[in-house]
Amino acid sequence: MLNALSQRLVKLEQRLETLELEMRHQRSQSESMPADELQRLDDVDQLLLDCQELLSSSEPESHDETAGAESPAFESGDADLQMAA
């Protein structure tokens, strides 16, 4: 029993060490990223946030407008399909 626990402890310590090495490697990669690339990613992030704000602020208006605009288009499309049949 004691031997099994010792082996398990050794395996867990090895796993922890492996995870710590991977984490250090990932950190070093992110720190070595060029400043211009980081700036581009920040800009993209800001653009995404702006787009989300625009979508959320225009969602009720555009939903009402598109609901009315879509209905006639579908009806005329259905009529065209019925005529073709």
Report which DSSP code applies to 34.
-
Rounded to two decimals, the pTM is 0.37
Q: Where are the domains of the chain?
A: 1-56
Kindly report, residue by residue over 29-84, the tens digit of the pLDDT.
777 778 888 899 999 999 999 999 999 888 766 555 555 555 454 454 555 555 44
Per-residue pLDDT at 67: 53
CA distances from 25 to 29, 30, 32, 35, 71 (A): 6, 9, 11, 19, 55
pLDDT band of 2, cuts 50, 70, 90: confident
